[in-house]
Amino acid sequence: MSNSIPKTMTAWRQNAYGGPESLTRAEVPVPQPGEGEVLIKIGATSLNGADIRIMRGDPKLVRLGSGMRGPKEKIRGKDVAGTIVAVGPRVFGRSVGDRVVGELPGGGLAEFVVAYSSKLSTIPSGVDDKIAATLPLAGGTAWQALESVNTDRGASVLIIGAGGGVGTFTVNLATWAGAHVHALCSPRAIETVAALGAERVDDRTATSTESLASDDYDVIVDLGGVVPLRELRRLVRDGGDVVEVAMGGNSVVGPLGRAIGSQAMSTWSKKHLRPLLATKRPGLTKTLLDLVASGEITPHIDREVPLDSADQAIKALDDGEVVGKILVVPGS
């Protein structure tokens, strides 16, 4: 590695599942890129609901993937943007100095991270690292929630819990596609969600879905996971879809019961309940980068926090204080 790369870096490590207090600031070795990998100097990391789930190991089902005794990946932070500073063996088509973004298994709450080159997208010159870092997981999930349902011009779309990372992208993308969006969100998010294009925005803490008319929506995207499935089914038209992004559930198996219920209720029904399992898609991140570069969508950044205070950023997200996205920015 080049001499300008330090031997150690600041990172927030987590040895045991728990709340934000389980993260500890530490000085750790800068990782070295292996075969097919690059070393990224991080420009910005955006936090997601998924970071909270892994931090807490909640529901317990996630521990089958993230580690039974504690998180296998010790550093939270999946959505990372920055500049390549070293390239490992057998990396083709990328060089030191390239700016890249991607959804990683973790490692973002640090100054440097290694990533497989093939999982990254190149950031176009008109997009800065902070905006790019908002896109892979939250923007990618919103896109996947909408891609197999009808959001054509004129479709009516209800978005429940529209004020978070995935929610704000869902409002933005559905509006961009030409749909009429009705959003339910927490009071602090109302102004932002309206500015992103929702035609009607209601305070979800004061508006029960029971007050909404039956068979009124072509699509419902649910980011809360608490409205009963029968109620969601009542609100959507015949031929329409309910996309369950957050599926609630208990602390052991999480959304599994609700997913099985959705399957059962959709059989022989003209109303489709669709649990979503979003996947990492670098090609989709590229599409979102292009939409941002051309000004067609605008990620909403609530705030930026320096790396030294990353535990406070995680706490703000865990406490439900964030509208849109929160960033951790090394060197700020």
For residues 292-331, which are near ligand NAP according to CB under 6 A?
317, 320, 322
**Residue 284 has what DSSP assignment?**
H
Q: Does 166 bind ligand NAP (CB under 6 A)?
A: yes
The correct pick among 133, 229, 278, 329 for binding ligand NAP (CB under 6 A) is 278
Q: Torsions phi, psi of 258, nearest 5?
A: -70, -35
Check residue 149 for interaction with ligand NAP (CB under 6 A). Answer: no
Angle at alpha carbon of residue 318, lines to 314 and 319, rounded to 5°: 120
Residues of span 174-193 touching ligand NAP by CB under 6 A = 185-186, 189
Q: Which of 75, 81, 155, 162 binds ligand NAP (CB under 6 A)?
A: 162
49 binds ligand NAP (CB under 6 A): yes
Q: Mask 95-134, x = binds ligand NAP (CB under 6 A)?
A: ----------------------------------------
Q: Which of 265, 321, 317, 292 is nearest to 134 (CA)?
A: 292
Alpha carbon distance, N-terminus to C-terminus of the chain: 25
Out of 86, 113, 245, 313, which residue is the one contacting ligand NAP (CB under 6 A)?
245
Q: How far is CA 133 from CA 100, 117, 250, 327, in A?
A: 9, 16, 31, 8
Comparison of 85 and 327: residue with beta carbon closer to ligand NAP: 327
Q: Does residue number 167 form part of the binding site for ligand NAP (CB under 6 A)?
A: yes
To ligand NAP, the closest distance from the beta carbon of 1 in angstroms equals: 33
Name the minimum Å distance from CB 141 to ligand NAP: 4
Q: Which is nearest to 282 in space by CA: 116, 94, 148? A: 116
Cβ distance to ligand NAP smaller for residue 122 or 287: 287
* Closer by beta carbon to ligand NAP, 112 or else 143: 143
254 DSSP assignment: B
Residue 224 binds to ligand NAP (criterion: CB under 6 A): yes
Under the criterion CB under 6 A, does residue 30 sit at the interface with ligand NAP?
no
Classify residue 71 by burial, with Cβ atoms within 10 Å: 0-12, 13-18, 19+: buried
Q: Output helix, strand, coil percentages for the chain, rounded to the nearest 5.
A: 30, 30, 40
Structural tokens at position 159? 């978005």
CB of 268 to ligand NAP, least distance (A): 25
Mode of pairing for the β-strands spanning 8-14 and 23-29:
antiparallel
Closest CA to 121 of 105, 98, 144: 98
Does 262 sit near ligand NAP (CB under 6 A)? no
Token pair, residue 281, equals: 């898609």
Locate 214 and state its tokens: 């039956």
Phi, psi of 299 (to 5 degrees): -60, 145
CB of 42 to ligand NAP, least distance (A): 19
At residue 157, the 3 state secondary structure works out as strand
Shortest distance in whole angstroms from residue 269 CB to ligand NAP? 21
Considering only 33, 71, 161, 299, the residue that binds ligand NAP (CB under 6 A) is 161
Minimum distance between the CB of residue 308 and ligand NAP, rounded to whole angstroms?
Answer: 22
Residues near ligand NAP (CB under 6 A) are 48-50, 53, 138, 141, 160-167, 185-186, 189, 204, 223-224, 226, 245-246, 276-278, 317, 320, 322
